[in-house]
Amino acid sequence: MSDLLARHRAVIPNWVALYYNEPIEIVSGKGNRVVDASGKSYLDFFAGILTNMIGYDVPEVREAVERQLATGVVHTSTVYLLRGQVELAEKIARLSGIPDAKVFFTNSGTEANETALLLATYARKSDQVLAMRQSYHGRSFGAIGVTSNRAWKNNSYSPVNATFLHGADRHLPQFAGLSDADYIKVCVEDLRHVLATSVSNDVAALIAEPIQGVGGFTMAPDGLFAAYKEVLDEEGILFVSDEVQTGWGRTGSAFFGIQNHGVTPDMMTFAKGLGNGFAVGGIVARGDLLDNLHAVGLATFGGNPISMAAANATLDYVLDHDLQANAQRTGTLIINGLREAAERLPIVTGVRGKGLMFAVELADGALAARFMEESKKAGLLAGKGGLHGNVIRMAPPLTLTMDEAAEGLGIIVNALETINDEAR
């Protein structure tokens, strides 16, 4: 492994982060577990950054991809009819709840968000975009412009003129002690003040994650985006929900994260879990917005036959097995258990989440790094994030069983107890 690590460092940019003091190579997977090159097995609570949504070696997905491979057609491009693309678009349009929806497929969430920014700025003839503090929307030039996390921004140059809103930052002293209703009221008044002071006449859109991924699974209280949308609608400002991490039932309480707010956005972007590891992203939006662009466009690899076969099989599996309900059951067990443990662990400063998207905030980044090593040793893979790198964020496959949920909870709590004892 040390040889592979040395080779990695020689040819891969040093800003491509690796987890753990001794990084691992995952060589096989089955169900909700993976095995590294040394033969050690792990219960996967990060799912390739929320991407292996229904676990590993799923027969329905594997067989769908193999059937497509057997045709000899791996790629044709969007200049030809693609049956799998049309079938998947029909399903997503129906599930979105967006009136007269159409779908455009990309390769990633970053590219999907770029498309949303293009559609919004073109439709509104404005480069002004609202986004949320602590947000992350991708690594490309435009996506960085609407990202509000210094650790993920390489420069201040941007094709959009972004202004950032409150809504996922209740930890700040000025909001301490506010109820959900009072916090929403304060945020809405701030939005109105921003529109009166920080922008010129026309604003293109608000883009927001219902639950912030890189931000450490911080989230606005349910109903905030409904209140924001009332203000946006007064000025014709479009609303884009970034569902790259929150889509497909992961929150348990809704199929798309924004539905927890009782809102139907103008556009939703998606990626990650839809292909269960195969590269697929896209945007579902009002048909008039997607039809509006005057220039010719295509996506060479977006919607290719292989990724569409995987995505159709994955989405069908999620729906056929009601994995949204499973996320609610298993996630409730874990989140309740974490909250109970947190009451006796001073190093834990917060527990939050919905469904199988939950996080433990620790007192500092060093404790988070220590947790990563301790949970790895115990056979569980987790993720790390937050504005200050002090949040453990976890999102197991939606196929997680109740027994696996209890097992994972036990590993997490034991690791936290070990670190808490060390910190005394």
**What are 129's two structure tokens?**
């975009």
| Helix (H) / strand (E) containing 394 | strand 391-394
Q: What is the pLDDT of residue 201?
A: 85
The yes-or-no verdict on residue 126 having pLDDT over 90 is yes
On whether residue 11 sits in a domain, the answer given is: no
- The band of 373, judged by pLDDT with boundaries at 50, 70 and 90, is very high
253 lies in the same domain as 395 = no
What's the pLDDT tens digit per position in 64-81? 999 999 999 999 988 999
Average pLDDT value for residue range 317-331: 98
Instruction: Tell me the β-bridge partners of 393.
Output: 359, 383
On whether residue 306 sits in a domain, the answer given is: yes
The yes-or-no verdict on residue 1 having pLDDT over 80 is no
The yes-or-no verdict on residue 112 having pLDDT over 90 is yes
On whether residue 84 sits in a domain, the answer given is: yes
H helical segments located in 178-223: 180-197
The yes-or-no verdict on residue 329 having pLDDT over 80 is yes
Q: What is the pLDDT of residue 2?
A: 79
Considering the chain, what is the average pLDDT of its residues?
97
Average pLDDT value for residue range 49-73: 98
78 lies in the same domain as 167 = yes
On whether residue 16 sits in a domain, the answer given is: no
Instruction: Tell me the β-bridge partners of 132.
Output: 165
173 lies in the same domain as 287 = yes
Domain boundary residue, one of 282, 299, 320: 320
Q: What is the pLDDT of residue 247?
A: 98
Instruction: Tell me the β-bridge partners of 239.
Output: 206
Domain boundary residue, one of 263, 297, 320: 320
Domain boundary residue, one of 320, 346, 367: 320
Average pLDDT value for residue range 309-326: 98
The yes-or-no verdict on residue 424 having pLDDT over 90 is no
Look up the CATH number of the domain holding residue 296. 3.40.640.10
Per-position b or e across 78-117, b if 16+ CB within 10 A of its CB: beeebebbebbbeebbebbbbeebbbbbbbbbbbbbbbbb
Crossing angle (nearest 10°) for helices 305-320 and 83-96: 40
The yes-or-no verdict on residue 332 having pLDDT over 80 is yes
What's the pLDDT tens digit per position in 240-282? 999 999 999 999 999 999 999 999 999 999 999 999 999 999 9
390 lies in the same domain as 339 = yes
**What are 10's two structure tokens?**
């020689």
**What are 343's two structure tokens?**
């009451």
289 lies in the same domain as 394 = no
182 lies in the same domain as 240 = yes
- What residue numbers bound the domain in which 184 lies? 63-320
Q: What is the pTM of this model?
A: 0.97
How many independent structural domains does the chain possess? 2
296 lies in the same domain as 233 = yes
Q: What is the pLDDT of residue 415?
A: 98
165 lies in the same domain as 294 = yes
